[in-house]
Each structure stands twice: as C-alpha cells, then as structure tokens.
Amino acid sequence: MLTQRKHRILIVDDQSLFRASVRALLEQDPGVEIVGEAGNGRDAIRAVDELAPHLVLIELSMPEMNGIEAIAEIKRRHPQVRVLVLTQYKAESYVHSSLKAGADGYLPKDATQEELRMAVRSVLNGKTYLNADVAANVVSGYLEGGRPAGTDRAYTLLTQREREVLKLVAAGKSNKSVAELLRLSVKTAEKHRSNLMGKLHLHNVSGLTAYAIANERLVG
C-alpha cells in the first residue's frame, strides 16, 4: 500500500517556545511533518537548502538576517518553496514588503489555531492567504494612495539624527560604527537606538531592520 506523502514544514522564529508551540499544533495533523526549526534568517536559508521543505513558516523580526531578506533569498534559490509569514506585525508596509519579497501568505501571531491550520493548508495548496485584519489594512493603504498612514506618522516623530541612526542600523552597523560615522559617543548612539525602538514600538535591532526595509521609501 502506498504511503501518503507528508507536507514538509520548516518553522523559523527567534523564540524557541513559540516554535515549540507551533510544532506541537501542526504535528497533530498526520499529513504534516516538521522537518526542522531555525532561529534567524541565515539559518533558515541553510535549513531550506538542506531539508527541502514544502513550506516555511517565518517571523519577520529576527537576529542576523530578518525575515523579509530571508524570504527573498529563499525564493531566489528555491522558487517552488511556499512561504507563510507568521509575525507580530500587521501594518500594511510589512505585508507589502513580504509579498514583494515572495511570501505566499501573511498571518499575525494573534490568529486562532484553526486559522493557522487553514492558512497552512491554503498556502500548501498553491493559494495566497491573507488574514482578514491584514487584508483590511492593505486595502486601507491603497485607498489612502498607497501610503501606510500609521507608519508615516510614526516616522515623523523621529528627529533627523534618529533617522540617520535608523538608516545605519538597518545597514547592519553596530553602535560603535554608528558613533564613529556620526561623530557621536557610543553612549549617545545607544540612546538614539533606544529612542528609535520606543517611538516605533519595536523591541530589537532586527525589528528596526525589518521596519527600515518595509519603509524604504521613507528611510531612503
């Protein structure tokens, strides 16, 4: 008797407990096999190369390489691999950048377990999946002329110096490098980075990088 082929899934998120909870949920489906996990974008790319998953579940904000950059590289190397973004971000700019990078679906982390299962099934079946709230944000952005208004407002709160720091952080510069390039003390550079995270409601450097990529028309 022929054995039904299982869908191979890779889970990518920098929080090990979250990865474990998603694994436990999806493994309840006998048609699914979790072939691996990764905690950052670079490891995700290597894992896709080695494990050949059918689907990658990926967060956008991660250390070393953020999700948007990882999606683009995964799709460049393996265009047949399906990618479902599972993230804390709902803003239209993140959705747009993810889809532009090649994502096949977008789901916020506060979605229900049933919706996650449904999104996984849809993307594996070759469809594009957008959570209802996310889709509404995208439509709202287009109705406003393609401008993610909330993101624009957040960016306008930044000082010129903070915008300069943001651009350098997005380019992967350390606090020491930022300080040298802008002729600041390291302590001042650290303070600017902290202020950026507070004003933009972000929690780590990879989040700042993802923000800069998603809003490249603002950051320049």
Question: DSSP letter string over 14-41?
Answer: S-HHHHHHHHHHHTTSTTEEEEEEESSH
Q: Dig out the tokens for 38 from the structure.
A: 């990764």
Domains located in the chain, CATH noted: 7-143 (3.40.50.2300), 157-215 (1.10.10.10)
So what's the pLDDT on residue 1? 43
pTM for the whole thing? 0.72
Query: What is residue 208's three-state secondary structure?
Result: helix
Query: Taking the chain (220 residues) in consecutive chunks of 10 residues, what is each chunk's mean pLDDT?
Result: 77 96 96 96 97 97 88 96 94 84 94 96 93 72 48 74 84 85 92 85 72 66
Distance CA 120, CA 25 (A): 12
The pLDDT assigned to 153 comes to 64
